[in-house]
Amino acid sequence: MNISDPLTASSPGPRDNCPPFDIDTIRSQFPILQRRIHGHPLAYLDNAATSQKPRAVIDAIQKYYLQHNANVHRGVYQLSEEATHDYEASRDKVQRFINARERAEIIFVRGTTEAINLVAHSFAKPRLNPGDEILISTLEHHSNIVPWQIICQQTGAQLRVIPISDAGEIDTTAVDTLLKPNCRLLSLTHVSNTLGTINPIQQMIRQAHQHGIPVLIDGAQAVPHLQIDVQTLDADFYAFSGHKVYGPTGIGVLYGKREILEQMQPYQGGGDMISEVTFEQTEYNELPYRFEAGTPNIAGAIGLGCALDYLDAIGLQQISRHEQSLLDYATQALSAIRGLRLIGTARNKAGILSFVMDAAHAHDVSTVLDQAGVAIRAGHHCTMPLMARLGVAATARASLALYNNRTDIDALAAGLQEVKRMFK
Amino acid sequence: MNQELRELYQEVIIDHGRHPRNFKVLEDHTHCQKGYNPLCGDRLQLYLRVRPGPQPVIEEASFDGEGCAISMASASLLTESLKGKTPEEAKTLFQQFHQLLTGGGDNTQTDLGKLQVLTGVRAFPTRIKCATLAWHALLGALDQGENKPDNWVSTE
């Protein structure tokens, strides 16, 4: 175990008001898990791509459209007040969920991708000069690579990459040499979407801060699985998506420290982000509205707030424990299959299992599994540079969520035996 | 194993996927074209040696690359069926093959011989691009007069 175990480092402590974790009850709260696929019960193991939604979230979205739909922040009538209230209540929920200091630090965006683009354009770009550097890691998703390439092209800055070990762990000894005086930002994933590696971000944020370098954390794969405390982490920015955390698509969050957000110019202009507009000039609205131009995804924010309530009621500690136990079970089950090689064997991992098989290509594996009701992902997982580093063109990836159980893993393992029989 | 899977992964496909024919770089090629499926990362390169003249003929076809059983088998079967065909005949074959997989257009059954084994892909819409990757490379290779040889053709 690393000295700064991310599982505990970002956890403020167990909550004592959560009922015991009952997997059958939880499964019954996700209507889609009742579906049969090709005559088999659905074993949904593509949670790193998107998660399924509990009934409560689906109901909250429907209730908004059935009873409260109106635009926010402008109407002087009851419906608009209700919509505004529910939308802003979700901001409070996000603030509490990640323990931000204040609600003004929570910006609603479309998802992690938009959050990173916002930071790239509003924070990084005005501060970058030719020869400056942005530092990322080999583990990054394309959404934490391409936005930096775009602004590097525009400013003459350079993109630098922290190397990883064959197991898929960040080479922390290389980090200090890469945190040079001309480095302007470290942008790092909390959990690798391809390998499941949990990065020691608290330690790395501390390292970066010692050099005066701000840090953006891509938390898309972390928030559903680990308790996040942005103040303990001391992250300058933290981004995540609603749909990976049991909420709807099209909504996400950018957390930023107030003192940094206050120095940033808006990313997009439009309604809601202004306080006064004349044809000569515009005075921008206060935080966080300055970064929320246009009518927001109101139903999405409400659905996300409901999803976070749902997770809070179960407790992230219990969820982490369940998923870790299932990850151990799945790792053993897959390791027992001859001709299967796990890709990504970091000591600290979230519930993601990437693998290749001698018998068949990942796409063929996925097609055969689908016929058995098992949904996994095959391909490069939007991490093509990582795949190149690992020397594989594609992997099959099973990724876990709080509603997965051993039956799902058994179906996966049985399906993989079928793959071996077919392609022997 | 269900019927659809059995039809998709017929023995011929598994055999060609595992032991692709004409899997080599054709050193004296006259045409070559890279093909890429950005969704899954499958890549291959198709080589042709076309005898020039008033009646050009594809004398030799080969490929190399990396991909799933469907894309490798389809490329393998393609190279086998190209030899001896004129470029025009090869383009007609592309059309017929495309119709075989998508069921679009005039579907009067042309017998495509061994290529018929890929009919099972029809039941798997997400895999049609795997089966057509090499074929898009074929069109790219034959249209090379207009293209730079190093360009990728993409299934997207």
Share of chain A above pLDDT 90, in %: 91
Give the pLDDT score at A12: 44
Contacts of A318 (CB under 8 A, 6+ apart): A18, A20, A21
Q: Residue A10 above 70 pLDDT?
A: no
Residue among B2, B9, B40 minimizing CB distance to A379: B40
Q: CA-to-CA distance for B70 and B123, rounded, in angstroms?
A: 13
Contacts of A362 (CB under 8 A, 6+ apart): A356, A378, A379, A394, A395, A396, B40, B68
Give the pLDDT score at B145: 55
B156 lies in some domain: no
Per-residue pLDDT band at B3 (split at 50, 70, 90) = confident
B153 lies in some domain: no
Residue among A362, A394, A422 minimizing CB distance to B9: A422
B151 lies in some domain: no
Residue pair B58/B90 in contact (Cβ under 8 Å)? The answer is yes
B18/A423 CB distance under 8 A: yes
B14/A367 CB distance under 8 A: no
B97 lies in some domain: yes
Nearest C-alpha in A relative to B68 = A361
A422/B41 CB distance under 8 A: no
Nearest C-alpha in B relative to A421 = B1
Per-residue pLDDT band at A6 (split at 50, 70, 90) = very low
At residue A251, φ and ψ (nearest 5 deg) are -135, 140
Q: Residue B108 above 60 pLDDT?
A: no
Tally: H helices and E strands in chain A: 15, 17
A363/B70 CB distance under 8 A: yes
Calculate how close chain A gets to B20, using CA atoms only, in Å.
14
Spell out which residues of chain A touch residue B14, defining contact as CB-CB under 8 Å: 422-423
B14/A361 CB distance under 8 A: no
Q: CA-to-CA distance for B135 and B143, rounded, in angstroms?
A: 12
Q: CA-to-CA distance for B152 and B137, rounded, in angstroms?
A: 8
Q: Residue A9 above 50 pLDDT?
A: no
Rg (CA), chain A: 22
Give the pLDDT score at A16: 53
Q: CB-based contact (8 Å) between B12 and chain A?
A: no
Nearest C-alpha in B relative to A387 = B41
Overall average pLDDT of the A332-357 stretch: 98
Q: Residue B116 above 60 pLDDT?
A: yes
Please name the residue ranges forming H helices in A191-286: 201-210, 230-233, 258-261
Q: CB-based contact (8 Å) between B11 and chain A?
A: no
Q: CB-based contact (8 Å) between B68 and chain A?
A: yes
Nearest C-alpha in B relative to A415 = B1
Q: CA-to-CA distance for A416 and A421, rounded, in angstroms?
A: 9
The ipTM (two decimal places) reads 0.88
Spell out which residues of chain B touch residue A38, defining contact as CB-CB under 8 Å: 2
Overall average pLDDT of the A64-77 stretch: 94
**DSSP string covering A61-101, please?**
HHHIIIII---TTT--SHHHHHHHHHHHHHHHHHHHHTT-S
Q: Which of B18, B40, B71 to mutate to test the interface with A (most CBs of A within 10 A)?
A: B40
B155 lies in some domain: no
Calculate how close chain B gets to A363, using CA atoms only, in Å.
6
Please name the residue ranges forming H helices in A213-343: 230-233, 258-261, 298-314, 316-335
Per-residue pLDDT band at B113 (split at 50, 70, 90) = confident
Residue pair B115/B77 in contact (Cβ under 8 Å)? The answer is yes
SS (H, E, C) chain B: CCHHHHHHCCHHHHHHHHCCCCECCCCCCCEEEEEEECCCCEEEEEEEEEECCCCCEEEEEEEEEECCHHHHHHHHHHHHHHCCCCHHHHHHHHHHHHHHHHCCCCCCCCCCHHHHHHHHHHHCHHHHHHHHHHHHHHHHHHCCCCCCCCCEEECC
Q: CB-based contact (8 Å) between B127 and chain A?
A: yes
Per-residue pLDDT band at A316 (split at 50, 70, 90) = very high
B127/A38 CB distance under 8 A: no
B68/A387 CB distance under 8 A: no
Beta strands in A14-55 (DSSP E): 36-37, 40-41, 43-44
Residue type, A105: E
Closest CA to A126 of A293, A263, A237, A283: A263
Per-residue pLDDT band at B150 (split at 50, 70, 90) = low
B42/A360 CB distance under 8 A: no
Range of the domain at B110: 3-144
Q: CB-based contact (8 Å) between A362 and chain B?
A: yes
Q: CB-based contact (8 Å) between B16 and chain A?
A: no
Q: Residue A379 above 80 pLDDT?
A: yes
Q: CB-based contact (8 Å) between A417 and chain B?
A: no
Give the pLDDT score at B147: 46
Nearest C-alpha in B relative to A361 = B68
What count of Cα atoms within 13 Å lies in the side-chain half-sphere of residue B142? 20
Number of domains in chain B: 1
CA angle A240, A328, A384 (to 5 degrees): 45
B22 lies in some domain: yes
Q: Residue B84 above 50 pLDDT?
A: yes
pLDDT by residue (tens digit) across B33-78? 999 988 777 899 999 999 988 899 999 999 999 999 999 999 999 9
Residue type, A378: A
Q: For this structure, is A382 an active site residue?
A: yes
Domains and their CATH numbers in chain A = 6-52+315-422 (3.90.1150.10), 57-312 (3.40.640.10)
Size of interface A-B (CB pairs under 8 A): 57
Give the pLDDT score at B109: 62
Calculate how close chain A gets to B124, using CA atoms only, in Å.
8
Q: CB-based contact (8 Å) between B88 and chain A?
A: no
Q: CA-to-CA distance for A35 and A31, rounded, in angstroms?
A: 8
Mean pLDDT, chain A, as a whole number?
A: 94
The per-residue b/e assignment along B9-30, b for 16 or more CB within 10 angstroms, e otherwise, is bbebbbebbeebbbbeebeebb
A418/B4 CB distance under 8 A: no
Q: Is A220 helix (H, G, I), strand (E, B) or coil?
A: coil
Nearest C-alpha in B relative to A356 = B68
pLDDT by residue (tens digit) across B123-144? 999 899 999 999 999 999 998 7
Overall average pLDDT of the B103-108 stretch: 60
First to last CA, chain B: 31
Per-residue pLDDT band at A382 (split at 50, 70, 90) = very high
Q: Residue A235 above 90 pLDDT?
A: yes
Residue A342's H or E segment, with its range, is: strand A340-343
Overall average pLDDT of the A174-189 stretch: 96
Q: CB-based contact (8 Å) between A388 and chain B?
A: no
- Output A142 or B153, whichever has higher pLDDT: A142
Per-residue pLDDT band at A7 (split at 50, 70, 90) = very low
Give the CATH number, domain containing residue B138: 3.90.1010.10
Spell out which residues of chain A touch residue B69, defining contact as CB-CB under 8 Å: 360-361, 364, 423
List Cα–Cα distances, A404 to A62, A219, B78, B99, in angstroms. Answer: 26, 21, 42, 41
Share of chain A above pLDDT 70, in %: 96
A367/B18 CB distance under 8 A: no
Residue among A39, A364, A387 minimizing CB distance to B68: A364
Q: Which of A38, A365, A367 to mutate to test the interface with B (most CBs of B within 10 A)?
A: A367
